[in-house]
Amino acid sequence: MTLIVRGDRGGHPSADLGKTKGGRRVERLNAACLRAPVSSAARSACRGDRPHVVALSCGSNTIVVPHPANRGRKGQNPLVEDVTPLWLFADQLGPHFRSGALTKRPIVLIESAHAFAHKRYHRQKLHLVLAGMRQLAADLGDRVTLIRSETYRKGLLSFGRPVVVHEPGSHAADRLVRRLHADGLVAEILPTAGFALSKAEFAHWAHGRRRFVMEDFYRDQRRRFEILMEPDGEPVGGRWNFDHDNRKPPPKQRTLQVPKPWQPRENDIDVDVQADLDARVRDGTVTTLGVDGPRQFAVSRTQALRALTTFLDHRLPTFGPHQDAILGEDWAMSHALLSVPLNMGLLSPLEVVEQAERRYRDGAAPLASVEGFIRQVLGWREWVWHLYWHLGPDYLDRNHLLAMSPSPRGGSMPSRTL
């Protein structure tokens, strides 16, 4: 693992035109850490003579990138090769985000101070995110460059090479990545590997539909990925939905009396993360909700697989009947508690549902429980994710039910609330 921790020094935008060894025209810009638009500055400096590449500098850091006007033109993007480093966000930490053509690429992780400070997050969430990135860096060793920087942009500048990145998980992050792509710091944006269905596939599914119902989507997901299906195309058990069997009221007892969920042991990385967060809270750079520790969820691939196996082998059989119930003295009941490793990208949704289906096929878990669990992962999780993108950021301002009561203001939250 390579750790880069340094500040970024800016300067005044300027241009110095020269030639590479191959005779190609090059523009060398000090773009004040890219605060000046690179593409417009390049066109102005070149007076209509378009260069092939741009060398951007910020203080002592220089990065050579394809010129913005040439990126995407056939034959004019020589810097985008199979060795282009892969930048991973904290929700992209599993092996399916770096498989195939990405298997051997160098990896960049960035701890952005701004990303942690611009919102008030739960303390547990910040712990999980930091621990996950640092654990991946420790697991992969020299393949990873871990950068601590004021912003993602400055972190990429300090790294000094263009990167490829998967689609991020929010509209704000998506806008940022596309700006970085326009400026040449990101060479290519890849489809996310965190969901079974791609955005393009969902758009095709949604095109021309007059009704958007999760049940329709879920059934098509089952057909598409052949989960709990018979060879003749009918659902296993003759039914798509076992909700009737999975809505029993809470039992009249204090606990569900099922095997406990897997729980990790904290390590030195957790200790360092907690110390870092304590320091940031004290100096006012981070404001958090709730309390932390001990960590209850997986932050590494090995831990995620243990949590998954424990659930499937010991808790899935009793998941279904009371999946919508709550017991005050049994917060976990038979729930999978796999949202954190799924949402950090440590588990692939398809591997999760395929392993759950295998437990039914092997006679280790009843169909109602297995179908109820698969519905959550392949149905609801995918449905909500795709509606978030399909409906767009303006959906935040819609108020179809005319709700007028103010939302409760954030305050102290229970330690187990995420």
| Pairwise CA distance, residues 139 & 107, whole Å | 12
| Pairwise CA distance, residues 98 & 93, whole Å | 9
Angle between helices 349-361 and 301-314 (to 10 degrees): 30
Greater confidence, 329 or 21?
329
* Confidence at residue 1, expressed as pLDDT on a 0 to 100 scale: 63
Q: What global pTM score does this model have?
A: 0.79
* Confidence at residue 23, expressed as pLDDT on a 0 to 100 scale: 35
The pLDDT-based confidence of 189 (bands split at 50, 70, 90) is very high
* Confidence at residue 111, expressed as pLDDT on a 0 to 100 scale: 98
* Confidence at residue 195, expressed as pLDDT on a 0 to 100 scale: 98
* Confidence at residue 407, expressed as pLDDT on a 0 to 100 scale: 78
Q: Which amino acid is at 21?
A: K
**Residue whose pair of structure tokens reads 């009249």 in the numeric block:** 252
Among 180, 112, 115, 175, residue whose Cα is nearest residue 148: 112
List the domain boundaries for the chain: 1-190, 199-262+298-393
Residues 6 or more apart from 120 whose CB is under 8 A from it? Answer: 287, 288, 289, 410
Give per-residue pLDDT as tens, 309-368.
999 999 999 998 888 888 888 888 889 999 999 999 999 999 999 999 999 999 999 999
Q: What is the mean pLDDT of residues 265-271?
A: 96
* Confidence at residue 131, expressed as pLDDT on a 0 to 100 scale: 98
The CA distances from residue 240 to 92, 320, 362, 373, in Å, are: 31, 15, 20, 13
Greater confidence, 323 or 153?
153
| Pairwise CA distance, residues 66 & 53, whole Å | 4
Equal fold, 1-190 vs 199-262+298-393: no
Whether pLDDT at 45 is above 80: no
Give per-residue pLDDT as tens, 193-208.
999 999 999 999 999 9
Sign of CA dihedral 193, 171, 111, 118: negative
The chain-wide mean pLDDT, for the chain, equals 83
Whether pLDDT at 59 is above 60: no
φ, ψ of residue 330 in degrees (nearest 5) = -145, 75
Greater confidence, 412 or 128?
128
Q: Of the CATH numbers 2.20.140.10, 3.30.70.100, 1.25.40.80, 1.10.1040.10, which one belongs to the domain with range 199-262+298-393?
A: 1.25.40.80
Whether pLDDT at 153 is above 90: yes
Greater confidence, 57 or 269?
269
- β-pairing verdict for 121-122 and 107-112: unpaired
* Confidence at residue 367, expressed as pLDDT on a 0 to 100 scale: 97
The CA distances from residue 124 to 37, 91, 258, 282, 302, in Å, are: 37, 15, 26, 17, 20
**Cis before residue 261, ω within 30 degrees of 0?**
no
The class level of CATH for 1-190 reads: alpha beta
Q: What is the mean pLDDT of residues 52-66?
A: 45
Whether pLDDT at 55 is above 80: no
Q: What is the mean pLDDT of residues 366-371?
A: 96
* Confidence at residue 102, expressed as pLDDT on a 0 to 100 scale: 95
The pLDDT-based confidence of 257 (bands split at 50, 70, 90) is confident
